[in-house]
Structure 1
Amino acid sequence: MVDLIAEVTRIQAPAALPDKDGDSFSMPGLIATGDGRSITTSREMERLIEAVAQELKRGDPSISQRHTDKEWNWLVRGTFGPALMLIDLDDDAAENTQLLLTSIRSQIDVAASAQDREYAFGCTLFGTFEVAPFSIGPVTFEPRANWLTRKQSEREISGTTARRVQKSWKGTKLRERKQRYDAMQERDVLDAVGKCPYVCSVRTTGLASEAGRLKAQTASHLAMAAVALRWATPSGALAGFRLLTDPGIRHQRSLVFVPGVRMLAGAHLVGMPHGPSISPKDWLTELEARKDDFAVIGQAIEYFLSVSGFTARPKVMNVLVQALLWFYEACREEVDLMAVVKFTATLDALANGGKSGGIRRLVNARLGIPDDKAIRKDGPTLKAAVDEIYSDGRSRTIHGTNDKLGKDWSSTRRLAEQFARLCLIASVDWAVRNPSLDDPSALQK
């Protein structure tokens, strides 16, 4: 801060030149002072301001939970404009430094005060579009008509905008509106929901805008993975569960040239327009039957979104979040071997980092399969199966010693997915039945 004040003093001199950047001169930056004026900055000032931002962050670990680095640096930078207007450069440097810090911290406290936000993303979900709204912790899935009605009742979307959006969703071409706030809001709603039949909403508290958006998207994916667990092949269900912000359905096209044969064309579809179909009644029955499981997963998602990380069982919640995140990423993975690595990471997280031995103990305890028992008729033993997915698939690939990269890993992928799914379901069930335990290693007992 002392160096910063000295730099501010230096660039006030009439003879001060822009910073030299190689063979050219860099343009100075500007920071608003809050009264319609601006302060010119040099590159050294910008460097020192960022250093102050990083030092403030080191003193408060929750900042990394609430802000992205870019957001935090920009927030701190903005406080320097009003703060520098409070000091006299001829006064004592130590007093000026203290005055600056007091002003900066005061502005940050106001700007970073806990704010409730709700992020909404258009999404696909079931092939049935009449499923009633439901929530998994802070994540809510609603048919878009229900979502629009709710936002109108909460007075966050005007009645006129709601009526026009409904008409647009029905295919009616809208007459142009005057360029006012409602017109911009209408356009934003239509862009954010698009043609998606559902809306996924995520509630956050105390998170800055960009950090909140990124965490809300991840929370949505965790909730989608939780829903997909109810199907025998979750990756197949997740192929049709997508936020509008996710990569869309696409054809991977290729040309094949074989000597003496006409050119051939190939295409592979990635993604599905929606997930599996289920009747509203059947899904309601599933929600009721698994309400305790969904409640625990909801608590884990709340833990992930929490600024403080405070929860009744932080260690168990941390394990469940990481396992569910690895599981989601594995289901989305297009390369079979990489999917094996990620499904195995799911198991390793649930096994508290216990490697292959921990995974076997997890399966022993949660699924009741001993090491020497075949996992299916005429199939490998549990020990051999875990060695295949953990040692051959995960470890050797991560360490760069896998000499079977070119083999077909699709069967191993299916095996890893089933183990990961069953162990995730059983581990969540264990958390339901042991609400007072916060020892992830107990999952192996």
Structure 2
Amino acid sequence: MATLDTLLTDLIAEVTRIQAPDALSSKDGDSFSMPGLIATGDGRSIATSREMERLIEAVAQELKGSDPSISQRYTDKEWNWLVRGTFGPALMIIDLDDDPAHNAQRVLASIRSQIDAAVTAQARENAFGCTLFGTFNVAPFAIGPVSFEPRSDWLTRKQHDGEITNTTARRVRQSWRGAKLRRRKAGYDAIREKDILDAVGKCPYVCTVRTKGLAPEASRLKAQTASHLAMAAVALRWSRPSEALAGFRLLTDPGIRRQRSLVFVPGVRILAGAQLVGMPHGPSISAEDWLAELEENRDGFALIGQAIDYFLNVSGVTARPKIMNAIVQALLWFYEACREEVDLMAVVKFTATLDALAAGGKSGGIRRLVNARLGIQDDKPIRKDGPTLKAAVDEIYSDGRSRTIHGTNDKLGKDWSSTRRLAEQFARLCLITSVGWAAENPSIDNPAALQKN
């Protein structure tokens, strides 16, 4: 594998080559290719060949490999673009007649200096319009770095912070009441007003996620995932979280849709079929009852908030990284399982939730997790006249998860809806009790301990 020095030496050689007349023709290799441009920072640009672009991307990947935190802070696209932009100023400080190795070191030093200047601990607040409860008067609440607020409360807060002008706030409120707004004079405030109306839409709530040290796109993507983790935590308070989550969504998520199909049966007149996917909002709950839920489960919500903080933390440093990692992964699998439309795939994902909590201990680890956290032994029925715990885990783990992943499931065509409900209940109860155990044992950072009484 090429080193940074080798890549930069090769790149400088390529820069030297393309200085020749007609070196950057429209034919680059065997295909048509227009040369790229990199700004030098002084109003000029450097033209690039396809080989230069390849070498620049290779340098970006080498730099990324030497610093694990880069993958936490940037998307690949953002990182490659940042590194590419540093080459313009860097290549302007060298003399192509100088020693190539010396030039390579100067370019590398310039690149590192520019990257260090660009990497800041900048704080960002990503706000998304969202649906939540069927009642819209629930007081603002937070789960770690994720906050949920009725949109009027959110608007008042941003107005108070000076981030939204009084005029913009007044006009947004008018629009939310259904008034038709007069056309506004073009300018920053007009753009901000439109951005608010577009981002919140008709959603009654706003979900806000605070990040620090993340590049813009990485911040947005991680904020969306953090929002989903927090929504899953809220949905755990209902006996069927998947039904609650059917009405919890960010405006950036897929919306409610009606699936339509045409059905033809020989000799029978049948109208088109239709099925609604998603709900306009989640279950209704009074402000007083939700406040009581938050208070009663305060420690559990606080623990999940710490896990979401860990997920967003660019350094990955936390008091209990192993426990936090297990909780985050379990909660993420749980969210995805609840959203899944295919029952068998939901079984796979709910079982992955259990496997994450059981430290990858397979079916035996899941049984030990249930033994310890739910108090059900292997040979005991999970409900009256129901299967034993061992039989139930075999159904969801061996028949559902493992054979499907390994491509050996010979029951793909059967109805997996009952197994899905079973897997959801196990995943929900094990998540709740595991989070509770982690909150009660703040000094333990070993997920395997969840399998012990």
What TM-score, normalized by structure 2, do the two folds share?
Answer: 0.97
Deviations 1:410-438 (A, max 9, x none): 00000000000000000000001100000
Structure 1 stretches of 4+ moved >6 Å: none
- Residues 158-197 of structure 1 correspond to what in structure 2 (within 5 A)? 158-197=165-204
How large is the Cα RMSD of the aligned pairs?
0.9
Note if contact 2:24-2:35 (Cα within 8 Å) is conserved in structure 1: no
> Of the candidates 88, 93, 103, which is equivalent to residue 86 of structure 1?
93
Pairs within 5 Å for 1:395-434: 395-434=402-441
Residues 351, 444 of structure 1: 8 Å contact kept: yes
State the distance in 2 between where 1:171 and 1:31 align: 48
1:365 aligned to 2:372?
Answer: yes
Number of residue equivalences: 445
Aligned residue for 2:14? 7
Output aligned runs, 1:386-401, within 5 Å. Answer: 386-401=393-408
SS at match of 2:147: strand
* Contact 2:222-2:312 at 8 Å conserved across structures: yes
Alignment partner, residue 216 of structure 1: 223
CA distance in 2 between partners of 1:282 and 1:18 (Å): 71
Letter in 1 for 2:177: K
* In structure 1, C-alpha distance between the alignment counterparts of 2:397 and 2:115, rounded to whole Å: 47
Task: Give the alignment of 1:237-252 within 5 angstroms.
Answer: 237-252=244-259
Alignment deviations for residues 34-67 of structure 1 (CA, whole Å, 9 cap, x no partner): 1111111110110010011011011101001100
Q: CA deviation at 1:182?
A: 0.7
Q: Matched residue of 1:264: which SS?
A: coil
Please point out which of 286, 289, 299 is paired with 2:306: 299
- Deviations 1:149-198 (Å, cap 9, x if unpaired)? 11111111111111111111111111111221111111111110010000
How far does residue 257 in structure 1 lie from its aligned partner after superposition?
0.1
The reply to whether residue 257 of structure 1 matches residue 264 of structure 2 is yes
* Alignment partner, residue 32 of structure 1: 39
**C-alpha contact (below 8 Å) 2:28/2:50 kept by paired residues:** no
Counterpart of 2:114 in structure 1 is 107
What is the Cα deviation at residue 102 of structure 1? 1.2
Displacement, 1:85?
Answer: 1.3
The SS at the match of 1:199 is strand
Contact 2:321 2:445 in 1 (8 A): yes
Q: CA deviation at 1:21?
A: 4.6
CA separation in 1, counterparts of 2:365 and 2:292? Answer: 35
Given the alignment of the two structures, is residue 45 of structure 1 paired with residue 35 of structure 2, yes or no? Answer: no
Letter in 2 for 1:341: V
Q: Report the Cα distance in structure 1 between the residues aligned to 2:306 and 2:191, rounded to whole angstroms.
A: 35
Q: What residue is the counterpart of 2:137 in the other structure?
A: 130
SS at match of 1:420: helix
2:343 pairs with 1:336: yes
Aligned-pair distance for 1:23? Answer: 4.9
Task: Indicate conservation of the 8 Å contact 1:19/1:42, yes or no.
Answer: no
Q: C-alpha deviations, 1:204-227, integer Å up to 9, x for none?
A: 011111111111000000000000
Superposed displacement of residue 19, structure 1? 5.9
Which has the larger displacement, 322-331 or 153-162?
153-162
Give the whole-Å Cα distance in 2 for the aligned partners of 1:154 and 1:192.
19
* Amino acid in the other structure paired with 1:167: Q
**Pair 1:152-2:159 in alignment:** yes
1:72 matches 2:79: yes
CA pair 105-23 structure 1, distance change in 2 beyond 3 A: closer
Q: Select the residue among 266, 274, 295 that pairs with 2:273.
A: 266
**Which secondary structure does the structure 2 equivalent of 1:366 belong to?**
helix
Instruction: Please give the alpha-carbon distance, in whole angstroms, between the structure 2 residues aligned to 1:129 and 1:15.
Output: 66
Q: Which amino acid aligns with 1:308?
A: S
Aligned to 2:5: none
Distance in 1, Cα, partners of 2:32 & 2:260: 48
How far 1:22 moved relative to its partner?
A: 6.0
CA contact (8 A) 2:236 2:428 kept: yes
Contact 1:249–1:272, Cα closer than 8 Å, also in 2: yes
Q: Which residue of 1 aligns with 2:69?
A: 62
Distance 1:58 1:345 in 2: 29
Uncovered stretches (5+) of structure 2, i.e. residues with no partner:
1-7
Identify the range of structure 1 (83-92 vs 210-219) with the bigger mean alpha-carbon deviation. Answer: 83-92
Is 32-41 or 314-323 further displaced after alignment?
A: 32-41
**What is the CA–CA distance in structure 2 between the aligned matches of 1:255 and 1:400, rounded to whole Å?**
31
- For residues 430 and 307 of structure 1, the distance between their equivalents in structure 2, rounded to whole angstroms, comes to 26
The alpha-carbon deviation at position 94 of structure 1 amounts to 2.0
In structure 2, the residue corresponding to 1:397 is in which secondary structure?
helix
CA distance in 2, matches of 1:128, 1:361: 40
